[in-house]
Structure 1
Amino acid sequence: MSTPTIGRLRVDGATLHYEVRGEGPLLLLIPGGAGGAASFDGVADALAADHTVASYDPRGLSRSPLDDPQARQRVAQHADDAFRLLELLSPDAPARVAGCSSGAIVALHMLTARPERIERVVAHEPPVVEVLPDAAEHRALLARVQETLRRDGLMPAVAEFAAGLRRPGADPVPAQAATELPPQARARAERTMANMPYFLGRIVPSFMAYVPDLDRLEALSDRLVLAAGTDSHGELPYRPAAFLAERFGTGLVHFPGGHTGLTTHPAEFGNLLRKVLTT
């Protein structure tokens, strides 16, 4: 894996850590969940063969501290952060953007807010559950997760959230045996766990309540690739991507693995991402 160029960007209320590799048109990678720039370590080098690849830790996560740790989190502000990076790294040309999970929600907002600066967006399983006909059920899930977090703490809330994301009738995912990770992977896992209270308590309630501008997205759907995991059928994060692809008539691109296919199948995921960005 190549060593990226590291930068810091001051934005409203936060300082962003970002990493840049390669040369060519800008590809901005937006991580999801409790992950940061390191989420894309498995694909960044391959993508950097023909792109300037930028990834970053979203505000409040890992190495991108907030000025006010209690500040309310909003999709629009996270999208503005991404635009600030875009303006810094590609001031004269539109960029390509790929986001996963909550990062895909940010990517959708970017496309509707500043389409003149976006050439193409790949949105992998954006959990915009408000577009679904059973959105009320998912609001109830989020309320249960927040109540569990307040009453019982982090790990019970994580379990409640994970159960709500699984397909109906699916068995719980078995706990994995502890294994000794290489130092870099161990540091990444530790950062992810440290980010979890912020993600579950602050990002999830705001982002999963976000309502995209569907008419505007549909008008821009020729620049939008809606994607989901081959193994995700029936799971909650899969359903909004499938719903939007059907509504827009664009088709759904299936990536290897499930919701975390970026991590579990990095080589295949990266190859397909490169293909859909350039065709």
Structure 2
Amino acid sequence: MKESVLEVPGARLHHFVRGTGPLLVLIAGGHGDAAVNEPLADHLADRYTVLTYDRRGLSGSTTDEPGLTLATHADDVSRLLSTLTTEPAYVYGSSIGALISLEFTIRHPEQSGVVVAHEPPVTQLLPEPERTRAVQDLLTAEETFKAEGAAPALRRFAKFAGIDPTDREPDVEVRRTGPEQLPNVEFLLTYDVPAIRAHTLDLAELKGSPARIVPGVGENSTHVWPHKCARLLAEELGTAYETFPGGHNGYAFRPRATAGRLHQVLND
């Protein structure tokens, strides 16, 4: 595995490359950094060259420009990929990572191969009053953070996303949010969650992308609104959605099964 730091406008992107085969970038959800994707990457490295990274503002990726948009994150993915290949790459993103992958597909279609967007929070697709409730979920997490701190806010976040720590593979250890992770949670709630609320996906541009876009859903997350967002996105694009193991964060709790399913979807 190769560890590097890439200097980009306003930030330094800490990233890792492992394995051999077609290039696949993994974009974590929530306050997840490269370490969250490490088990999934390890299960894919026998078939793919896997790129994982800390989003700007998280862990080893520092930033001088924290007031950012999802377009900023999408451009970061583009710059990372440009150091590794001139060919279209595979992309797998979950939650905010899925929304970033979709924005990346719009902004950098020439770099986009198969793009799997697992439960992206595309709130604009939800009918009312579900849309208002979804936006309020995000806003409540932000307000809880300001009033009570990171840990209570993260619990609110986990509740509306339906995170179930018991829904995991036997050898997966639940990653506790220790002091070293609190800055990531704080950055998520201060900058990234407002960016999600403010974001509008250009559906016309997305439909015109040459990439194969695959909305993904968790088999155990039918009760949460990001699951419905993915189904509605598939309907909007006139394509089928694919089901993945586990819930909203199945990539972290069920990495072995997710790797197998992702390989099937990428090569369908």
Structure 2 length normalisation: TM-score?
Answer: 0.89
Task: Verify the 8 A CA contact 2:101 2:117 in the aligned structure 1.
Answer: yes
Aligned with 1:208: secondary structure? helix
Task: Look up the equivalent residue of 1:206 and give its one-letter code.
Answer: A
Task: Verify the 8 A CA contact 1:34 1:193 in the aligned structure 2.
Answer: no
Task: Verify the 8 A CA contact 1:221 1:250 in the aligned structure 2.
Answer: no
2:151 is the counterpart of 1:162: no
Task: Verify the 8 A CA contact 2:21 2:48 in the aligned structure 1.
Answer: yes
Segments of 5+ residues of structure 2 without an aligned counterpart are 167-171
2:84 is the counterpart of 1:89: yes
Residue identity over aligned pairs, in percent, reads 39
Task: Look up the equivalent residue of 1:143 and give its one-letter code.
Answer: L
1:175-254 correspondence to structure 2 within 5 Å: 191-220=180-209, 223-254=212-243
Change (3 A) 1:11 1:141: same
Which of 33, 36, 39 is residue 30 of structure 2 equivalent to? 33
Change (3 A) 1:215 1:5: same
Task: Look up the equivalent residue of 1:130 and give its one-letter code.
Answer: Q
Change (3 A) 1:155 1:50: closer
Task: Verify the 8 A CA contact 1:38 1:188 in the aligned structure 2.
Answer: no
**Which residue of structure 2 aligns with residue 129 of structure 1?**
123
Segments of 5+ residues of structure 1 without an aligned counterpart are 167-171, 176-180
Change (3 A) 1:123 1:8: same
Aligned with 1:6: secondary structure? strand
Task: Verify the 8 A CA contact 1:126 1:240 in the aligned structure 2.
Answer: yes
Change (3 A) 1:144 1:277: same
Deviation at 1:187, TM superposition (A): 8.7
Which of 37, 60, 70 is residue 75 of structure 1 equivalent to? 70
Aligned with 1:104: secondary structure? helix
Deviation at 1:151, TM superposition (A): 2.1
Deviations, residues 71-103 of structure 1 (Å, cap 9, x unaligned): 20210011111000010011x211111111111
Deviation at 1:203, TM superposition (A): 0.7
Which of 55, 59, 65 is residue 58 of structure 1 equivalent to? 55
**Which residue of structure 2 aligns with residue 169 of structure 1?**
none
Deviation at 1:221, TM superposition (A): 7.7
Task: Verify the 8 A CA contact 1:128 1:209 in the aligned structure 2.
Answer: no
Deviation at 1:146, TM superposition (A): 2.4
Aligned with 1:233: secondary structure? coil
Deviations, residues 142-184 of structure 1 (Å, cap 9, x unaligned): 3333222222222332333334344xxxxx9699xxxxx98xx
Q: Which has the larger radius of gyration?
A: 1
Structure 1 length normalisation: TM-score?
Answer: 0.85
Considering only aligned residues, what root-mean-square deviation do their CA atoms show, in Å?
2.4
Deviations, residues 229-265 of structure 1 (Å, cap 9, x unaligned): 0000020221110111122221111100001111221
Task: Verify the 8 A CA contact 1:231 1:258 in the aligned structure 2.
Answer: yes
Deviation at 1:222, TM superposition (A): 6.1
Task: Verify the 8 A CA contact 1:130 1:209 in the aligned structure 2.
Answer: no
Structure 2 Cα separation of the partners of residues 120 and 160 of structure 1: 33
1:239-278 correspondence to structure 2 within 5 Å: 239-278=228-267
Aligned with 1:120: secondary structure? strand
Task: Verify the 8 A CA contact 1:129 1:209 in the aligned structure 2.
Answer: no
* Aligned residue pair count: 261
Change (3 A) 1:187 1:160: closer
Aligned with 1:7: secondary structure? strand
